[in-house]
């Protein structure tokens, strides 16, 4: 199997701070990869480099065989990289429907077929369980539902790689169960890179887990391997139960 995404020596410094520090990562097509690590470990910065929000200080990023290190963010979206940010970024004044219709329009070549936009938007809303709320104002949704709307906005781009940054923050236990099923369904035709503090979600979903600590990869392995790793226990897992729930 060839990797869909690889990073080589990927680094991002903010002044003297090495937020991401020489990360080598290879993500297989179809994989669900969790990235975990303590607050400030560099997780959000790392995915910001992949989606092109910031340029790296050094290192390379290859997606589907193409070096995308210097590619602008909007072209990465066209290559199939979609992301939902840790901070909710829905358009609060627009309807739930319009929030999803906008990214659908980006995927259509003519951008004007109302039938295709409607179908794409409703399909994405259905997948996250928000179809019945299509006409509500997005800003009126509960915080957790706004996060699900963001996932729908990502899905509307028909991504090959979907990056989710703490998507379960603010979801109830029942909603988290639905979310786990949703990510499994998404992974049937996309690769998922999931930053997540909730260890139940991580352990149930991830094929492999990468642990970041102080900008570096501390460990990588299956959920069972990571659970058994003493260094991970010391750096993170010992406190993750409280932090994640």
Ligand X SMILES: Nc1ncnc2c1ncn2[C@@H]1O[C@H](COP(=O)(O)OP(=O)(O)OP(=O)(O)O)[C@@H](O)[C@H]1O
Check binding of 205 to ligand X (CB under 6 A). no
Check binding of 37 to ligand X (CB under 6 A). yes
Which of Mg ion, ligand X, none does residue 37 bind to, with CB < 5 to 8 Å depending on kind? ligand X
Check binding of 50 to ligand X (CB under 6 A). no
Check binding of 147 to ligand X (CB under 6 A). no
Which of ligand X, Mg ion, none does residue 133 bind to, with CB < 5 to 8 Å depending on kind? none
Q: Could you tell me the smallest distance in angstroms from the CB atom of residue 243 to ligand X? A: 9
Number of residue whose CB is nearest Mg ion: 44
Write the CA distances from 182 to 89, 94, 141, 167, 186, integer angstroms.
20, 24, 19, 12, 6
Check binding of 44 to ligand X (CB under 6 A). yes
Reduce the secondary structure of 155-224 to three states and give it as a string: HCCCCCEEEEECCCCCCCHHHHHHHHHHHHHHCCCCEEEEECCCHHHHHHHCCEEEEEECCEEEEEECHH
Which C-beta is closer to Mg ion: that of 33 or that of 43? 43
Q: Which of 158, 86, 92 has its CA nearest to residue 123?
A: 158
Write the CA distances from 68 to 65, 77, 132, 183, 214, integer angstroms.
9, 11, 38, 26, 25
Number of residues that bind ligand X (CB under 6 A): 12
Give the per-residue contact string, 79-118, with ligand X (x = CB under 6 A; - = no): -------x--------------------------------
Which C-beta is closer to Mg ion: that of 44 or that of 99? 44
Q: Which tokens in the block code for residue 58?
A: 């050094």
Binding site residues, Mg ion, CB under 5 A: 43-44, 86
Stretch that binds ligand X, among 2-10, 36-44, 62-70, 100-108 (CB under 6 A): 36-44
Which spans of this chain sit near ligand X (rule: CB under 6 A)?
14, 17, 19, 37, 39-45, 86
């Amino acid at each position: 199997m060839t990797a869909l995404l690889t990073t080589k020596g990927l680094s991002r410094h903010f002044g003297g701070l090495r937020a991401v520090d020489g990360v080598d990562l290879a993500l297989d097509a179809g994989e669900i990869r969790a990235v975990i690590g303590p607050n400030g470990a560099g997780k959000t910065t790392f995915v910001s480099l992949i989606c092109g929000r910031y340029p790296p200080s050094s290192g390379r990023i290859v997606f589907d065989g193409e070096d995308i290190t210097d590619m602008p963010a909007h072209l990465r979206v066209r290559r199939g990289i979609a992301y939902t940010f840790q901070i909710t970024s829905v358009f609060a004044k627009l309807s739930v429907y319009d929030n999803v219709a906008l990214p659908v329009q980006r995927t259509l070549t003519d951008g004007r077929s109302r039938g295709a936009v409607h179908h794409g938007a409703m399909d994405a809303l259905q997948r996250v369980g928000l179809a019945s709320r299509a006409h509500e104002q997005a800003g009126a949704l509960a915080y957790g539902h706004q996060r699900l709307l963001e996932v729908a906005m990502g899905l509307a781009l028909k991504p090959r790689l979907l990056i989710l940054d703490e998507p379960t923050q603010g979801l109830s236990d029942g909603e988290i169960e639905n979310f786990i099923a949703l990510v499994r369904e998404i992974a049937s035709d996309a690769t998922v890179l999931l930053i997540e503090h909730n260890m139940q979600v991580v352990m149930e979903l991830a094929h492999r887990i990468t642990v970041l600590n102080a900008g570096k990869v501390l460990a990588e392995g299956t959920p069972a391997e990571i659970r058994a790793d003493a260094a991970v226990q010391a750096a993170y897992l010992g406190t993750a139960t409280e932090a994640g729930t």
